[in-house]
Amino acid sequence: MKYLVVLCALVYFVQGKVLPDRVSNLLCRKSDPEYEKCIRKNLEKSIPQLVKGVPEFNMPPIDPLELPFVTVDRTINELVSINAILKNVKVIGASNFVIEDIRANPHNYTAEMRLTFPWTHLEMDYDVNGQLLIVPLRSKGYFNGNFTETQLYVRGNLKTVDKNGVKYFRVDKFSMKIRVGDGRVKLISENPELQFGADLIANFYNDNPRRVMDAINPIFVETATELYRVVLDQVLSAVPAKEWLPE
C-alpha cells in the first residue's frame, strides 16, 4: 500500500535569495505581542500575491493551482482502492477562502489553522483503476467537478537545519484534515464506447457524495498532505530562517 506524488517542475528555489519587498512586507515579527492577529491580517492581505505567485522564485500561483502530473496508488480496504495517473490538474477557487481560526507560536514554530473554501472547481485528465465501494474504477478520460463548503484544518511545526553555518526552516510535523461539504462531478471517457462506465462512476458519486467522500477521504488527505509538505519545504528553503521570521 503506497502512493506517490510527483511534482514536475512545480517549484524550484535557489538557496540564498532575499525575499522581495512585497513578500517580506507581509511577514510578522517574532517580537510582535499580537503575533496571531498579525498573521491573520497579513494572510488576508496576501491573497492577491498568492494568486499571482512569486516569479523570482518560480513560486506557482495558487489560483488556479496547476499540477502537471500526480500519481496515487493506495488501498484502504477491499472496498476502496485507487491507482491513478492524473495529468494537467487544475484547481480553481483556492484563493476564495475564509479564515475561521489561526493559532501560531513564533517561539516554538508551531501553527494551526482552520479555513473554509465556499467553492472550488477541479479538472484534469485521468487514468484510474481500482474499486470505489460497489463500483469498479476502470476509466480513462477527462474529469471536472464542482465542490462546496470544503473545510480544511492544518496543523504543523517547523524545525531549523544548519546549512554552511546558516539556519533554514524545514517542516518537522505536518497534518491536514479535509471535509468536502458537497459536490457534483462529470467524467468524459477518452473512448466514447466506454462512456457508460464513466457515467456509472460519476452518477454513483453524484447520488452519494457524502458516502463517497467519506470513503476516499483518507486517500485525498494523505495525497494533499504530502503534496503541500513538499511544496512548503521547497518554499522554506528559498531563504534563511531569519528572513521568514524576523526579530
Read off the CATH number of the domain in which 181 is found.
3.15.10.30
CA distances from 30 to 17, 36, 200 (A): 21, 10, 54
Helix (H) or strand (E) holding 49: helix 47-52
Choose the weakest-confidence range: 22-26, 88-92, 143-147, 172-176.
22-26
Instruction: Show Cβ contacts of residue 164 under 8 Å, excluding neighbours closer than 6 positions.
Output: none
Between residues 222 and 20, which one has the greater pLDDT?
A: 222
**Tally of domains in the chain:** 1
* Predicted local distance difference test score (pLDDT) of residue 11: 36
Any idea which residue has 554552511 for its cell?
Answer: 164
- Give the domain range for residue 207: 21-244
* Predicted local distance difference test score (pLDDT) of residue 56: 65
CA–CA separation, 228 and 126 (whole Å): 21
Domain for residue 51, yes or no?
Answer: yes
Helix (H) or strand (E) holding 230: helix 209-236
pLDDT at 12 exceeding the cut of 80:
no
Provide the terminal-to-terminal Cα distance of the chain, rounded to the nearest Å. Answer: 44
Confidence of residue 144 (pLDDT cuts 50, 70, 90): very high
Confidence of residue 120 (pLDDT cuts 50, 70, 90): very high
Domain for residue 39, yes or no?
Answer: yes
Indicate the burial class of 158 (C-beta count within 10 angstroms; 0-12, 13-18, 19 or more): buried
Q: Are strands 65-77 and 98-105 parallel, antiparallel or unpaired?
A: unpaired
* Predicted local distance difference test score (pLDDT) of residue 147: 94
- Given a contact cutoff of 8 angstroms between Cβ atoms, the answer to whether 19 and 49 are in contact is no
Number of alpha carbons in the 13 Å side-chain half-sphere of residue 178: 20
* Predicted local distance difference test score (pLDDT) of residue 2: 36
Residue in 85, 89, 82, 92 with CA at minimum distance from that of residue 124: 89
pLDDT at 14 exceeding the cut of 50:
no
Domain for residue 16, yes or no?
Answer: no
Any idea which residue has 494537467 for its cell?
Answer: 88
pLDDT at 9 exceeding the cut of 60:
no
Please give the mean pLDDT across all residues of the chain. 85
* Predicted local distance difference test score (pLDDT) of residue 60: 76
CA–CA separation, 245 and 236 (whole Å): 11
Domain for residue 147, yes or no?
Answer: yes
Domain for residue 7, yes or no?
Answer: no
Return the number of other C-beta atoms located less than 10 Å from residue 198's C-beta: 23
Between residues 76 and 123, which one has the greater pLDDT?
A: 123
Which whole number is the average pLDDT over 126-143?
Answer: 89
- Given a contact cutoff of 8 angstroms between Cβ atoms, the answer to whether 97 and 44 are in contact is no
Confidence of residue 142 (pLDDT cuts 50, 70, 90): very high
- Nine-digit cell string for 107: 517561539
* Predicted local distance difference test score (pLDDT) of residue 58: 59
Domain for residue 41, yes or no?
Answer: yes
Confidence of residue 57 (pLDDT cuts 50, 70, 90): low
pLDDT for 97-112, tens place per residue?
A: 999 999 999 999 999 9
- Given a contact cutoff of 8 angstroms between Cβ atoms, the answer to whether 157 and 110 are in contact is yes
Domain for residue 9, yes or no?
Answer: no
Confidence of residue 234 (pLDDT cuts 50, 70, 90): confident
Domain for residue 40, yes or no?
Answer: yes
pLDDT for 188-231, tens place per residue?
A: 999 999 999 899 999 999 998 888 888 888 888 888 888 888 88
What residues form DSSP beta bridges with 169? 160
